[in-house]
Amino acid sequence: MIDFQSDYIAGAHPQIIKQLSETNLECLPGYGTDAYCSAAKEKIKAACGCPEAEVEFLTGGTQTNAIVISTMLQDYEGVLAAKSGHISTHEAGAIEYSGHKVLELSQAGGKISAAVLKDYLSDYFADENYEHMVFPGMVYVSHPTEYGTLYSKAELEAIAGVCQDYKIPLFLDGARLGYGLMSAASDMTLADIARICDVFYIGGTKVGALCGEAVVFTKGNQPRHFMTAVKKRGALLAKGRLLGIQFDTLFTHDLYFEISRHAIGLAEELKAIFTERGYSFYLESFTNQQFIILENAQMKRLKQDVSFSFWEKLDDNHTVVRFATSWSTTAEDLEALKRIL
Amino acid sequence: MIDFQSDYIAGAHPQIIKQLSETNLECLPGYGTDAYCSAAKEKIKAACGCPEAEVEFLTGGTQTNAIVISTMLQDYEGVLAAKSGHISTHEAGAIEYSGHKVLELSQAGGKISAAVLKDYLSDYFADENYEHMVFPGMVYVSHPTEYGTLYSKAELEAIAGVCQDYKIPLFLDGARLGYGLMSAASDMTLADIARICDVFYIGGTKVGALCGEAVVFTKGNQPRHFMTAVKKRGALLAKGRLLGIQFDTLFTHDLYFEISRHAIGLAEELKAIFTERGYSFYLESFTNQQFIILENAQMKRLKQDVSFSFWEKLDDNHTVVRFATSWSTTAEDLEALKRIL
Amino acid sequence: MIDFQSDYIAGAHPQIIKQLSETNLECLPGYGTDAYCSAAKEKIKAACGCPEAEVEFLTGGTQTNAIVISTMLQDYEGVLAAKSGHISTHEAGAIEYSGHKVLELSQAGGKISAAVLKDYLSDYFADENYEHMVFPGMVYVSHPTEYGTLYSKAELEAIAGVCQDYKIPLFLDGARLGYGLMSAASDMTLADIARICDVFYIGGTKVGALCGEAVVFTKGNQPRHFMTAVKKRGALLAKGRLLGIQFDTLFTHDLYFEISRHAIGLAEELKAIFTERGYSFYLESFTNQQFIILENAQMKRLKQDVSFSFWEKLDDNHTVVRFATSWSTTAEDLEALKRIL
Amino acid sequence: MIDFQSDYIAGAHPQIIKQLSETNLECLPGYGTDAYCSAAKEKIKAACGCPEAEVEFLTGGTQTNAIVISTMLQDYEGVLAAKSGHISTHEAGAIEYSGHKVLELSQAGGKISAAVLKDYLSDYFADENYEHMVFPGMVYVSHPTEYGTLYSKAELEAIAGVCQDYKIPLFLDGARLGYGLMSAASDMTLADIARICDVFYIGGTKVGALCGEAVVFTKGNQPRHFMTAVKKRGALLAKGRLLGIQFDTLFTHDLYFEISRHAIGLAEELKAIFTERGYSFYLESFTNQQFIILENAQMKRLKQDVSFSFWEKLDDNHTVVRFATSWSTTAEDLEALKRIL
């Protein structure tokens, strides 16, 4: 069985396991106050070209979204997101659990546009009854999106421009940020992301860590007493080293970028294999997630040898499925796939 | 200035003021345990033809929606509603404040359909990842809807049928229920509503009371220790008599229906006046709210003499506005309107 | 049956009923934007000697406590209160429902002291792990307290001084404020309260209104978009006039103070009656609530003719009960009580 | 510098690191559905002698407390705990964040008693106004407690008996459960805990894991759709294997008990060293946490060579400090301590 189910099927990049092992017996202070956390933060700030950034580590994506959003919003505000955004659909109501509404925007290929955003905001404030509605208090985008698509620098800057006009922060969910930055279709660097966004996170769980996301507040805007807010939400690890050591490793010798590039390279090959075999794609993705349309019987057959994930029903006879590559995908996996198709 | 701004521009029906005045010095126990509350509950149960119903009084519509929904949902559930539903749009995030998501359904004229609902539910449970999403745990409809439209008995029964198939309750927001039941276009009685829905409320605030909504649980399904949950949400009145006396009055000699009928009669006249004058309607409403399309300059002119409310921008030159009648609207108001138009 | 059960057994002061009746057919805008609300706010600001105050009307005490506390606290903060405080004990968890902890302080006769408060705060910040604990973000006092006792001006100023040292606001729950201000034992005016506290409320429900509390923010510190936060908590009345008219009446010709004085006068008489008859008091109260110790058999006997409320079990044979006077108590009530005792 | 700061100063037990390393490249399904999670659950059920138990893995202690409590309580309920309980003091308001109150009970040495509990419950239900208060809906105990003390089997059974009388579940926080079970002063086995409690957790973070707690529902009482509730609270790990592999290792060849016994043995030695040197203990602990009273100057001196933690100020000249042993403490650490004292 070859496995393209997701980008979190394997453990951690071996370099991380090695580092966890080598530092294992060191006695370190708890709750993220250890030297590995500090070093990792410095390396991330350097990689972002943003010395004034504040960096915090959390465990997973949904947790990170809920904490960033609920600590940055005012009581009367909600967060704007694509109708297909992760926070709108696949987080079991985590944002609402914090008492805030997700205000849904129409999307194309998982992306919102500055135009749609601007219309929403100007209509909102033009409404005589706007005080009876949830204030739009933040914009959430995922990059890559849930469909593997990417914002261009111009698109993201346009969205950021609207946010600035309305004085609301732009938050970028980078659960798969490495795979976005290393895509051939990307025209943005990590420093661009840091410059354009008010807050974003660098996903670890899906890019080689056992767990962990690094939140970067770029504008001196980290909520006060953030650690207490994290604890209040049950998200503070006693052994914060688990996150610090992993991110320290990922941001040493550009490991984060290297393993992302590896996955992207293999995703391009996978795309080529499916294209050659005449398969249709649900949309064109330049990142590590590829969405392929399968006839249902074909899907059933394929499932016997390959692991991939259900995405959505297209029609009664066809299904959209997702193939994902990651740091752990190998050239052999692709060879085996070729033989099966 | 004649006023069609809303159905809550005046105080209470004079009969209510009279009754509040006459009972004013009686010493009564607090928190809804007085004899007027009990009498009102019995009268409402009788009017519903539902002796097994449980009735509770709350103060306003948003409060009632939030309390009913948050006490009936399980932790992992959200509530399904039309994208245009009051809870989706105009309650400042009150449902989300209780930790639950509003799951939006497409609508037509403010109404959802059994077909749209069924599709949502079957797609939801067909999704392999449904446990990562918010469970649909209740269906919310407003009747009349926010657009003044009505469900037919067949439509509501079809929706209830889907709810029963999926074992989730159907909740009807009756903030303007009287105006729905007394509409010529309605084919449902209060007893029909009670039979078809699992829980609903009879709006007082917009139908002649100073404040107050009567929640009716029809299937032995009132949440346990409901009074404590109401108190926890800051919604328990010390002088529960204020609600009991009002509903006792409204359900004595059919006052609730009589004043609703009065408003509907005048709404029909108002509709006729606008039709005669050649105005366009945004949609056809048979209840006390009429949605008229005005050219913007015309709207500005009209505003000098008549009070009505902004509904939504139609295009750059036209606006949808709402004219509402109520128990307090008079024939003279319509005469005056005729003169102005 | 004579009734000393509580100070909310009757409806509203007749002057309020009269005013509700006389204004009943006026067409007014909703949600607290009407002229009566404005007038009432101005009169309250004048009575407080605090022209810069911001005044908002809410429906009941628990609701007011929950809204003021949850909109003024930061995410990581809780509210300090006496262990016997209303928010600590009798609000069904309304503060916790908003996500905030009530941090309990020891009390005497329902009162906290500046010394106890200061110790708590200095110990808190001296703790090396304070970031793992709930930050003390506000101080709540009730005046009169739940035991009918009063803070002296010096005591309240001392508490306010500690609050200022630690930069946290002082919130005074004035559900029975009138009965406190008119007590012979009080050395504070309404203007003193406004000067000393950062926010407080003037109780209406227990001082002659059908419902309603007037929140006064005294230091330009009303939370932004307060109306939206109120709506989000289900507490915004469509017919805000109900509150505006009542408070306008209460603050016209000093009615609020006059009816409070009436109740206090009768409470002093009631106290004298019990004292003469040799009854013991649980503590000495100078306000409208008197706490009397009854032998259990005696309590049972008395209950046949008089209505009063259970307070707490003192020991196996004795119970503390509460007798309350209010604007609606009459000299005849006391005569009848005398005959019975 | 020798380190007795806490029981989470080192990484994981080497056997865990080895197992994480060896399984690292295996492709496994996510979200706790992998074979290691299943195996770990079976081993834990066997160790508990409770084949009908349901086991779930979470990341840390505060998270576990908040999730267990908030998913098991009804809306109108709170949780009873010692005033010194972890949930009462050191979780930054995590329980309140879920909308529930912690109802504090008096304690001795960190323990509550059946008698205190029974009094609370009988007083609560005897109060005529109990519906205005938070219902006691669960009892929380920590074992060992925050002071390192232990419940005897008879004490825990008595508490459980009261819980059964009032039909509320007993929840045991076992963040340091291993150190409790292996104490010479303990007369309970893991099977006893499972039999007596309705739900409890086996702490991993403080007993040799990098992170992780295993919740055990012992009476067929796991909340429905628990995984969705966990996700909603941001606590669902994509790579659930991280927890499964760790607990699988801890419950293979009794590693969990063995490393606990090691720590307890060294704690006894540490206790002996301090006793010999004439130090006073704040209370007698038979587990891995020892609370020693230091004169402040002495504390300052000691801090130069040894790491330990501040517990609480005893008086102006003395401080209570905590020394903790764990699986990672060595005989050499104790030798070094001896030399310093």
ipTM of the complex as predicted: 0.97
Contact between chains at A96 and B92 (C-beta distance less than 8 A): no
Size of interface B-C (CB pairs under 8 A): 155
Is any Cβ of chain B less than 8 angstroms from the Cβ of C93?
yes
Is residue B183 within 8 Å of B150, Cβ to Cβ? Answer: yes
Distance separating alpha carbons of residues A232 and A3, to the nearest angstrom: 38
Q: Write the residue in A89, A102, A310 that is nearest to B133 by C-beta.
A: A89
Give A292-327 as a DSSP string: EEEEHHHHHHHTTTEE-EEEEE-SSSEEEEEEE--T
Return all residues near B3 (Cβ < 8 A) that are at least 6 apart: B9, B306, B307, B333, C27
Contact between chains at D76 and C93 (C-beta distance less than 8 A): yes
pLDDT band at D85 (very low <50, low <70, confident <90, very high): very high
Distance separating alpha carbons of residues A251 and A44, to the nearest angstrom: 7
pLDDT value of residue C120:
97
Question: Chains with ≥3 Cβ pairs under 8 A against A?
Answer: B, C, D
pLDDT value of residue D319:
95
Of the candidates D116, D114, D115, D164, the residue with the CA atom closest to the CA atom of residue D138: D164
Q: Write the residue in B102, B104, B132 that is nearest to A92 by C-beta.
A: B132
Give A124-175 as a DSSP string: HHHSTTGGGS-EEEEEEEESS-TTS----HHHHHHHHHHHHHTT--EEEE-T
What's the predicted TM-score (pTM) here?
0.98
pLDDT band at A1 (very low <50, low <70, confident <90, very high): confident
Of the candidates C231, C196, C234, C235, the residue with the CA atom closest to the CA atom of residue C216: C196
**A299-336 tens-digit pLDDT:** 999 999 999 999 988 998 999 999 999 999 999 999 99
Return the SS3 of A19: helix
Return the SS3 of C90: coil
- Backbone region of residue C92 per phi and psi (left: phi > 0; alpha: psi in -120 to 50; beta: other values): left
pLDDT at A128 over 90: no
Partnered with residue A102 across adjacent β-strands are A79
pLDDT value of residue B153:
98
Return all residues near A193 (Cβ < 8 A) that are at least 6 apart: A48, A143, A156, A172, A174, A177, A181, A200
**For residues A53-66, average pLDDT:** 98
Distance separating alpha carbons of residues C210 and A273, to the nearest angstrom: 75
**C:167-226 residues touching chain B, CB 8 A cutoff:** 205-206, 210-211
Partnered with residue B80 across adjacent β-strands are B103, B139
Q: Which residues of C touch A74 (CB under 8 A)?
A: 224-225
Distance from the Cα of residue C75 to its chain's centroid: 25
- Residues in chain C with pLDDT < 70? none
**D:228-267 residues touching chain C, CB 8 A cutoff:** none
Token pair listed for C176: 């029975």
**D156-185 tens-digit pLDDT:** 999 999 999 999 999 999 999 999 999 999
Q: Nearest chain C Cα to B66, which residue? A: C234
Distance separating alpha carbons of residues C288 and C184, to the nearest angstrom: 11
Q: Could you say which architecture CATH assigns to the domain A15-254?
A: 3-Layer(aba) Sandwich (3.40)
Contact between chains at A76 and C228 (C-beta distance less than 8 A): yes
pLDDT band at A122 (very low <50, low <70, confident <90, very high): very high
Return the SS3 of D212: coil
Is residue A210 within 8 Å of A11, Cβ to Cβ? Answer: yes
**The two domains D2-7+256-340 and D15-253 share their CATH topology (first three levels equal):** no
Contact between chains at A313 and B126 (C-beta distance less than 8 A): yes
**A62-113 tens-digit pLDDT:** 999 999 999 999 999 999 999 999 999 999 999 999 999 999 999 999 999 9
End-to-end CA distance of chain B: 13
CA angle B325, B328, B330 (to 5 degrees): 75
Q: Nearest chain A Cα to D245, which residue? A: A11
Mean pLDDT of chain D: 97
Is any Cβ of chain B less than 8 angstroms from the Cβ of C99?
no
Distance separating alpha carbons of residues D9 and D12, to the nearest angstrom: 10
Q: Write the residue in D101, D128, D313 that is nearest to C96 by C-beta.
A: D101
Contact between chains at A93 and B104 (C-beta distance less than 8 A): no
Q: Are strands A135-142 and A170-173 parallel, antiparallel or unpaired?
A: parallel
Helix locations, chain C, DSSP H: 14-22, 35-47, 61-72, 86-89, 94-97, 114-126, 153-165, 177-181, 190-196, 226-232, 241-250, 255-276, 296-303, 331-340
Size of interface A-D (CB pairs under 8 A): 155
Is residue D325 within 8 Å of D303, Cβ to Cβ? Answer: no
pLDDT value of residue A219:
98
Instruction: Determine whether D115 is exposed, middle or buried from the number of CB atoms within 10 Å of its CB (0-12, 13-18, 19+).
Output: exposed
Is residue C120 within 8 Å of C151, Cβ to Cβ? Answer: no
**D45-57 tens-digit pLDDT:** 999 999 999 999 9
The 3-class SS string of B226-276 reads HHHHHHHCCCCCCCCHHHHHHHHHHCCCCHHHHHHHHHHHHHHHHHHHHHH
Contact between chains at D9 and A28 (C-beta distance less than 8 A): yes
Of the candidates A79, A34, A96, the residue with the CA atom closest to the CA atom of residue A238: A34
Q: Could you say which architecture CATH assigns to the domain B25-253?
A: 3-Layer(aba) Sandwich (3.40)
Residue type, D169: P
Mean pLDDT of chain A: 97
Topology (CATH level 3) of domain C25-254: Aspartate Aminotransferase; domain 2 (3.40.640)
Residue type, B306: V
Q: Is the dihedral of CA B265, B268, B272, B274 positive or negative?
A: positive
Sole residue written with tokens 């809807």: B145
Phi, then psi, of A152 in degrees rounded to 5: -80, 165
- Radius of gyration, CA atoms only, chain C: 20
CA angle B96, B99, B102 (to 5 degrees): 45
pLDDT value of residue C276:
96
Question: Chains with ≥3 Cβ pairs under 8 A against D?
Answer: A, B, C
Q: Is the dihedral of CA C62, C68, C71, C75 positive or negative?
A: negative
Domain range summary for chain B, segments of one domain joined by +: 2-7+256-340, 25-253
Give B76-140 as a DSSP string: TEEEEEETTSHHHHSSTTHHHHTT--EEEE--BTTB--HHHHHHHHHHHHHSTTGGGS-EEEEEE
Of the candidates C272, C305, C320, C265, the residue with the CA atom closest to the CA atom of residue C288: C265
**D104-153 tens-digit pLDDT:** 999 999 999 999 999 999 999 998 899 999 999 999 999 999 999 999 99
Is any Cβ of chain C less than 8 angstroms from the Cβ of B31?
no
Judge if the upstream peptide bond of residue D169 is cis by omega within 30 degrees of 0: no
Is any Cβ of chain D less than 8 angstroms from the Cβ of A26?
yes
pLDDT value of residue C1:
87
Is residue B143 within 8 Å of B183, Cβ to Cβ? Answer: no
Q: Which residues of B touch D70 (CB under 8 A)?
A: 75
Q: What CATH number belongs to C2-7+256-340?
A: 3.90.1150.10
pLDDT value of residue B128:
87
pLDDT value of residue D208:
97
Phi, then psi, of C236 in degrees rounded to 5: -90, 120
pLDDT value of residue D24:
98
CA angle A84, A90, A91 (to 5 degrees): 125
pLDDT value of residue A28:
97
Which segments within chain A are labelled E, that is strand? Answer: 2-3, 54-58, 77-82, 102-105, 135-142, 170-173, 199-203, 213-217, 280-281, 289-295, 306-307, 309-313, 318-324
Which among D101, D127, D133 is the top mutation candidate for probing chain C, defined by the most C β-carbons within 10 Å of its own β-carbon?
A: D101
Return all residues near B198 (Cβ < 8 A) that are at least 6 apart: B163, B169, B170, B171, B217, B218, B219, B221
Instruction: Using the CB atoms, write b or e for A28-63: b if 16+ within 10 Å.
Output: bbbbbebebbebbbebbbebbebeebbbbbbbbbbb
Is any Cβ of chain A less than 8 angstroms from the Cβ of B132?
yes
Size of interface A-B (CB pairs under 8 A): 65
What does each C-alpha distance from A124 to B62, B90, B109, C90, C195 come to in angstroms?
Answer: 20, 12, 21, 40, 39
Q: Which residues of D touch C312 (CB under 8 A)?
A: 127
Please give chain B's pLDDT, 341 residues, in tens.
899 999 999 999 999 999 999 999 999 999 999 999 999 999 999 999 999 999 999 999 999 999 999 999 999 999 999 999 999 999 999 999 999 999 999 999 999 999 999 999 999 999 889 999 999 999 999 999 999 999 999 999 999 999 999 999 999 999 999 999 999 999 999 999 999 999 999 999 999 999 999 999 999 999 999 999 999 999 999 999 999 999 999 999 999 999 999 999 999 999 999 999 999 999 999 999 999 999 999 999 999 999 999 998 899 899 999 999 999 999 999 999 999 98
Q: Is the dihedral of CA B248, B250, B251, B255 positive or negative?
A: positive
Return all residues near D31 (Cβ < 8 A) that are at least 6 apart: D227, D236, D237, D238, D240
pLDDT value of residue D128:
87
CA angle A292, D227, B73 (to 5 degrees): 105
Distance from the Cα of residue B286 to its chain's centroid: 15
**D277-311 tens-digit pLDDT:** 999 999 999 999 999 999 999 999 999 999 999 99
Right CATH for D15-253 from 3.40.50.2300, 3.30.2320.30, 4.10.520.10, 3.40.640.10: 3.40.640.10
Looking at residue D130, the DSSP 8-state letter turns out to be: G
Is any Cβ of chain A less than 8 angstroms from the Cβ of B322?
no
Distance from the Cα of residue B320 to its chain's centroid: 21
Is residue A244 within 8 Å of A32, Cβ to Cβ? Answer: yes
